[in-house]
């Protein structure tokens, strides 16, 4: 039968360490571009429907995530379907809202672990909402954090950020500007765009690692062109989409920034096919740029389904689809 996991079910069974481990396994699988095609976007009358699909190479469930959104009404719904690779049965459907945030942060934590030097990390965060908080939780489950400093334009939002993360027992501080939040950081997390789509990160220091997850469409901006130009290495979860479909990289290319030789797939870094951070250059600036992918959604969704089965969590639907002979 098919099990449905509500968003509350997903939150109840989710675990950061297990998510990062599942993603590490997913990205270490042999590369095959046919398994995870580019996302598609259907648009009409101010609405859009995004589809991310994939067939994992490790034999785990294949499936897709659908995002139905009305930007003008600020409403969206997320649905993930998982199919068994042998039987073609439908073992699970999941509300994908929290999974989307969880998988983004867990993948960023995986990338940051590979791209930052060993040792405790000083982290600067631009943004204070759901994604920003998730990133700190994911990082705290992966690395030792020496400090976390947050900037958000609204002082109340900054205070809420530190209050919501107080249970982690980390040194948490707020800053009055993005520049001061990232001034002494080893790792910068960009998880908020300005309302007018002007970049929120304009300068970076030598040796820093930047994680950028807030610009995933051509009309969105998060990083100044100078930051892209300063990066020695750009690690992308989906190379073509990061280069062609994100406002940050589109603007950089239009300004004449040469990306040749800079951009490497996250899968190559995880598997060891590419080094990521240059070992011989402590001042190198490394950027991880994410648009999200089905590999992330399916790995984390399958992990949640496994943990839900162990804990008898979820709703067994009264009917399911029946695979047919073809």
Residue 73 CA: distances (Å) to CA of 40, 144, 235: 22, 40, 34
Mean pLDDT across 93-112: 97
Residue 155 binned pLDDT confidence (cut-offs 50, 70, 90) = very high
Q: 227 with 263, same domain?
A: yes
Mean pLDDT across 93-113: 97
Residue 194 lies in a domain: yes
Q: What is the pLDDT of residue 98?
A: 96
Residue 77 to residue 69: CA distance in whole angstroms: 7
Q: What does the pLDDT look like over 276-318, one tens digit per residue?
A: 999 899 999 999 999 999 999 999 999 999 999 999 999 999 9
Q: 37 with 183, same domain?
A: no
Do residues 250 and 228 touch, judged by C-beta distance below 8 A?
A: no
Q: What does the pLDDT look like over 252-279, one tens digit per residue?
A: 999 999 998 899 999 999 999 998 999 8
Do residues 231 and 31 touch, judged by C-beta distance below 8 A?
A: no
Say if strands 209-212 and 263-265 run parallel, antiparallel, or are unpaired: unpaired
Q: 284 with 299, same domain?
A: no
Say if strands 47-54 and 40-44 run parallel, antiparallel, or are unpaired: antiparallel
Q: What does the pLDDT look like over 54-83, one tens digit per residue?
A: 999 888 999 999 999 998 899 999 999 999
Residue 71 lies in a domain: yes
Residue 323 lies in a domain: no
Q: 89 with 31, same domain?
A: yes
Q: In terms of DSSP H, where are the helices of 177-218?
A: 178-182
pTM of the model: 0.93
What's 35's domain CATH number? 3.30.1780.10
Q: What is the pLDDT of residue 218?
A: 85
Q: Quick one: CA dihedral 125, 129, 132, 135, positive or negative?
A: positive
Phi, psi of 76, deg, nearest 5: -155, 150
Residue 134 lies in a domain: yes
Q: 51 with 172, same domain?
A: no
How many C-beta atoms surround the C-beta of residue 179 within 10 A? 14
Percent of the chain residues topping a pLDDT of 90: 88
What DSSP character marks residue 132?
H
Do residues 188 and 209 touch, judged by C-beta distance below 8 A?
A: yes
Q: In terms of DSSP H, where are the helices of the chain?
A: 7-13, 16-28, 97-115, 130-140, 155-164, 178-182, 225-230, 239-245, 247-254, 266-271, 294-310
| CA atoms within 13 A of residue 315's CA, in its CB half-sphere | 12
Record the tokens describing residue 214, joined without a space: 């807030």
Q: 160 with 24, same domain?
A: no
Q: What is the pLDDT of residue 31?
A: 79
Do residues 295 and 238 touch, judged by C-beta distance below 8 A?
A: no
**94, pLDDT greater than 90:** yes
Residue 322 lies in a domain: no
| CA atoms within 13 A of residue 89's CA, in its CB half-sphere | 9
Do residues 129 and 151 touch, judged by C-beta distance below 8 A?
A: no
Q: 305 with 256, same domain?
A: no
Q: What is the pLDDT of residue 254?
A: 94
**196, pLDDT greater than 80:** no
Q: 90 with 30, same domain?
A: yes
Q: 114 with 144, same domain?
A: yes
With vertex at residue 234, the alpha carbon angle to CA 285 and CA 147, rounded to the nearest 5 degrees, is 50
| Structural domains counted in the chain | 2
Residue 246 lies in a domain: yes
Query: Residue 96: helix, strand or coil by DSSP?
Result: coil
Domain containing 85 equals 3-100+294-316
What's 153's domain CATH number? 3.40.50.720
Q: 128 with 203, same domain?
A: yes
Residue 59 lies in a domain: yes
Record the tokens describing residue 48, joined without a space: 């859009």
**208, pLDDT greater than 90:** yes
Calculate the CA dihedral of residues 218, 224, 229, 232 and round it to 10 degrees: -90
Q: 285 with 304, same domain?
A: no
Q: 151 with 233, same domain?
A: yes
């Amino acid at each position: 039968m098919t099990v449905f996991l509500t968003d509350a079910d997903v939150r109840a069974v989710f675990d950061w360490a297990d998510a990062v481990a599942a993603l590490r396994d997913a990205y270490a699988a042999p590369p095959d571009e046919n398994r995870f095609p580019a996302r598609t976007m259907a648009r009409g009358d101010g609405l859009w429907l995004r589809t991310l699909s994939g067939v994992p190479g490790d034999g785990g469930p294949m499936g897709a995530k659908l995002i139905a959104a009305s930007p003008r009404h600020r409403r969206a719904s997320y649905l993930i379907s998982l199919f068994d690779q042998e039987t073609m049965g439908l073992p699970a459907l999941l509300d994908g809202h929290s999974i989307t945030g969880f998988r983004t942060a867990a993948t960023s934590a995986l990338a940051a672990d590979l791209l930052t030097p060993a040792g405790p990390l000083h982290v600067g965060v631009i943004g204070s909402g759901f994604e920003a908080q998730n990133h700190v939780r994911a990082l705290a489950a992966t690395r030792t954090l020496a400090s976390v400093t947050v900037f958000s334009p609204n002082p109340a939002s900054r205070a809420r950020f530190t209050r919501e993360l107080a249970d982690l027992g980390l040194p948490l501080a707020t800053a009055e500007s993005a520049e001061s939040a990232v001034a002494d950081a080893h790792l910068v997390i960009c998880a908020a765009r300005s309302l007018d789509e002007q970049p929120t990160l304009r300068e970076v220091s030598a040796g820093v690692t930047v994680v950028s997850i807030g610009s995933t469409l051509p009309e969105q901006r998060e990083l100044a062109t100078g930051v892209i130009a300063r990066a020695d290495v750009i690690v992308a979860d989906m190379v073509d989409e990061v280069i062609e479909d994100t406002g940050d990289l589109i603007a950089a290319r239009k300004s004449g920034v040469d990306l040749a030789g800079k951009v490497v797939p996250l899968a190559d870094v995880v598997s060891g096919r590419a080094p990521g951070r240059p070992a011989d250059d402590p001042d190198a600036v490394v950027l991880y740029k994410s648009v999200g992918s089905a590999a992330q959604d399916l790995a984390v969704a399958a992990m949640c389904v496994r943990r839900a089965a162990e804990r008898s969590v979820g709703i067994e639907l009264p009917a399911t689809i029946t695979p047919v002979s073809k």
